[in-house]
Structure 1
Amino acid sequence: MKIEQNVIETLEELENFIISIENGGLGLKDVEGIGLAKNNADGRPFIAVFDRNQQLLYGRWLSQEAYDNGKDIVRNGVKRH
């Protein structure tokens, strides 16, 4: 499991990250889903990539704005233009 230190600041960055995961751009194996979460220690929000056993494979920190406004994007997927 790895949490990338680069913070996703905007909804556009969040969409691009999700598309990258969907397209296999990070080389992760056995991806089954993504979700939003908060770090138990300090409450920092992040996007989590899970395997079939709901184990965290990869994560990226999110700005509070991306967390608050990106919930529908994560829940419903990216609407391609």
Structure 2
Amino acid sequence: MSNEHDIIDNLTDLETFLVMVESGGLGLKGVSGVGMATSNKDGSHFVAVFDDKQQLLLARGITTEVFENGKDMVRNGVGRKH
């Protein structure tokens, strides 16, 4: 998460990231959930991917705007609408 180029700074990129997680495009095994959080260390926000044991598989930094406006997208998923 320390690389500024890896920070998700808009909702379109958040949606793309979530679709990649949902579709298995990132090669992560045993994905069980996705959530948003705030770091206790420095107050930065991130989106995290967890396995079924609630172990962190992947985290990406997100801007405050994405944190505030992308909660429903993370909570409900972005699966393709029929």
Q: Same fold (TM over 0.5)?
A: yes
How is 1:1-81 mapped onto 2 (pairs within 5 angstroms)? 3=1, 5=3, 6-78=6-78, 80=80
Q: How many residues align?
A: 79
Higher helix share: 2
Alpha-carbon distance change, 79 to 22 in structure 1, aligned in 2, over 3 angstroms: closer
Does the 8 Å contact 1:4/1:59 carry over to 2? no
Does the 8 Å contact 2:19/2:79 carry over to 1? no
Runs of 4+ deviating beyond 6 Å: none
Question: What are the ranges of 5 or more consecutive residues in structure 2 without an aligned counterpart?
Answer: none
Q: C-alpha separation between the residues in 2 aligned to 1:8 and 1:56?
A: 18
Higher strand share: 1
